Structure 1
């Protein structure tokens, strides 16, 4: 049985980004594991625009009634949701920008968190419609935030994933990367070892 992983990167630093290095390590480890395939999407190179009212409105129109422009707008979300359904694991390689996620990654979430498609509202609250999937967050940070009140990023990511039904989430932290070479090397080594263990368990 093949496990399909969708790896999303969102660093504006390209090859110099530490989250990119973590994603590359994940892909390298996956390449040596039978039965695990990777789809990579660079949300900076293939950048999505900010969500607008016309695009949001296009989702509300039945597919066979959309205008040419509405079909083009709706296809952004439709294609990303199809891609999400086609994979078993979502890997988010995430740098921390001003205590939050990159806007490029938020633009992706804005297309896949879609009422009626990936979650629905019920009397007891939202119910996720994406079932049987798991996520891995590869978090690269200059400072040390995990487990503190300043880590607003991790709960935000878990909340967005949970909204659509992905509640099995592993987080790998590479923190303190701006605190000197020795600290950076140790943090990256530990994170890469954690990635290797996760890959073997997929």
Structure 2
């Protein structure tokens, strides 16, 4: 049985478009992939603490004596990386906050970016260890960033996620984008309609096929 990990990171609750899109993506994936097992992670409600001296215990050599706090933090990191590695498909809600991803999502990434688990270093450079997965990102933006060089230079949301998942060895990263959401009701309606079409296309495509496609 394949496993899907559904992750939301928006702080807007029921008003979140990214949450709306991830729910649609998961529903569409389940319809076209019967039997998939879904687990859910709400990073706005259950945010791992940001990296600190206490939460870096997982980077210390095996056998290192850890404090009680470090042990608790290690347990959080282990649970998150194990959940990530067990998933065949990861659906991520990633709204654009101040030109980048929410800090809650960054905190999760920092916990799963573990040497020897999701990547390793070699004499030829880093090598990802989490290949063979499909990642579908619901990317939402109040403005429009995809149609100009200036806009593309300003966003560090899709570009960052493409980079970090690629660093983990994942080549099948798909984006469902809805942008211009704060530019009037007509623009929002058009963005959502385009995203819904893209959801159908992305969730009907066979898993583990390298591609990066975005909604217009």
| Partner Cα separation in structure 2 for residue 195 and residue 157 of structure 1 | 18
CA offset digits 1:27-46 (Å, max 9, x no partner): 33234341333211110011
CA offset digits 1:15-61 (Å, max 9, x no partner): 10110110111133234341333211110011111110121135314
For structure 1, list consecutive stretches of 5 or more residues without a partner in the other structure.
none
Give 1:113 deviation, angstroms. Answer: 0.6
| Partner Cα separation in structure 1 for residue 82 and residue 166 of structure 2 | 18
For structure 2, list consecutive stretches of 5 or more residues without a partner in the other structure.
208-216
Moved more, 192-201 or 99-108: 192-201
Contact 1:30 1:38 in 2 (8 A): no
Contact 1:113 1:163 in 2 (8 A): no
Matched, 1:117 2:121: no
Give 1:70 deviation, angstroms. Answer: 2.7
TM-score normalised over the length of structure 1: 0.92
Moved more, 105-114 or 22-31: 22-31
CA offset digits 1:107-160 (Å, max 9, x no partner): 000000112221111122111111211211110111111252222221111111
What SS does the aligned partner of 1:195 have?
helix
What SS does the aligned partner of 1:173 have?
strand
CA offset digits 1:63-111 (Å, max 9, x no partner): 6854443321111111111101111011111100010000000000000
Q: Residue 152 of structure 1 corresponds to which residue in structure 2? A: 156
**Alignment map for 1:1-202 (pairs within 5 Å):** 2-33=1-32, 34-62=34-62, 65-146=65-146, 148-201=152-205, 202=207
Contact 2:58 2:77 in 1 (8 A): no
TM-score normalised over the length of structure 2: 0.86
